[in-house]
Structure 1
Amino acid sequence: MLARAAAPAILSLFAFLSLAHAGNQTIPASAEGQIEFNTPSGNIGCIYTAKGGTSTYQPQDGGPELSCSRVEPSYVTVILGPNGPATLIKNPGEQGCCSDVAKLAYGNSWSKGPFTCRSSTKGLTCTGSNGHGFFVSKAKVNVK
């Protein structure tokens, strides 16, 4: 009987401990300043490009830009720039996601420039400082 009564307290302690370890995760940039990360499932991958772009890629509006792709169940890409809402591309053509890069651990956040992303077991939520953003998971994609 005592063990049954203690079970909720023990579960609460584990939930608290996992939240205590959640935090802001630092992911190093490449030599050109891009930052790449995937969700732990490997189904979603993102690339941050700083303002001005790189020698091989220039964001459409000059940047900064956050581009995230989902592999399954269908390949889609969402692009978030510094102004305006996110853009959902349902058939992006190129399908280069998700190489062996840093994983944004579940419960952790990443921030760079005007963007912040939070990884969870439900999916990836990214927002810009202008209030626009997106949510990507295997089940759905929402942009605002």
Structure 2
Amino acid sequence: MAGRGFAGLTPGMKAFLAVDAVLVVLLVLLFVVVQRGGDDGDAGAAATPTPSGTAAPAPEATPAEAVAFALPSGNIACDMSAGGVECRIASFTYAAPEVAGCEGATGNVVRLDAQGFAFVCVEGDPPATAGADVPVLEYGSQETAGEYTCRSGTDGVTCSGAGGVGFRLARADWTELP
């Protein structure tokens, strides 16, 4: 078969080689996308707590990544993604806001997404303090996912999205931003 090129191959073998070549190209492209994290931008880095308690730079979350953290007290825990932020507070002293049509508990869960800020109706048990498996976001540090950023402080967590819309949540009170 040496020297004959593709001329001596059957149509079925030619089709097999063509499909094989396409699959190899797709595999190489997938590898490149995974290695780059699927993100062409370099919007900066978020801080990730290290075991020593100091913040170390970490890559910004991509749309497929979720970021979870708890404040050092464990009373407030949040989940972030490019689609929004949801924070849970186990214990609070403010008056629970009303949520239209809610027959469950209110005041423990807040959400920020493309529709804005809102308290969420909790059917069932309210959230407990964050477990030891949830990464701690040290006071003064922040996390970012998509256009959402949350900052940990001794006065609670402050999360905002596009245009500064967001919230501050603490044991004693909450504030809608801006």
TM-score (norm 2): 0.52
1:72 aligned onto 2:91: yes
Give the equivalent residue in structure 2 for 1:39.
71
Tell me the equivalent position of 1:140: 173
Q: Does 1:115 align with 2:148?
A: yes
- Give the alignment's Cα RMSD to 1 decimal: 2.5
Identity %: 30
Q: Verify the 8 A CA contact 1:25 1:110 in the aligned structure 2.
A: yes
Question: 1-side partners of 2:159 and 2:110: how far apart?
Answer: 10
Contact 1:35 1:49 in 2 (8 A): yes
User: How many Å apart are 1:26 and its aligned residue?
Assistant: 2.9
Counterpart of 1:99?
A: 131
Highest CA radius of gyration, 1 or 2? Answer: 2
Moved over 4 A (4+): none
Q: 5+ unaligned residues in a row in structure 2: which ranges? A: 1-44, 50-57, 94-106
Deviations 1:67-124 (A, max 9, x none): 001111265111011x2421113x5235344232111100111111011111111111
Relative distance call for 1:77 and 1:85 in structure 2 (3 A) is: same
1:26-71 CA-to-partner distances (Å, cap 9, x unmatched) read 3787xx7322100000010001234xxxxxxxxxxxxx12100111
Q: Give the deviation of 1:143 after TM superposition.
A: 2.0
Confirm or deny: 8 A CA contact 2:67 2:145 kept in the other structure. Answer: no
Quick one: which amino acid aligns to residue 158 of structure 2? T
CA distance in structure 1 between the partners assigned to 2:126 and 2:68 by the alignment: 15
Q: Work out whether 1:86 is the aligned partner of 2:117.
A: yes
Cα pair 2:90 2:127 within 8 Å, conserved: no
Distance 1:41 1:71 in 2: 11
How far does residue 24 in structure 1 lie from its aligned partner after superposition?
4.2
Q: Residues 148 and 160 of structure 2 are in contact (CA less than 8 Å); yes or no, is this contact kept in structure 1?
A: yes
2:70–2:137 Cα contact (<8 Å) kept = yes
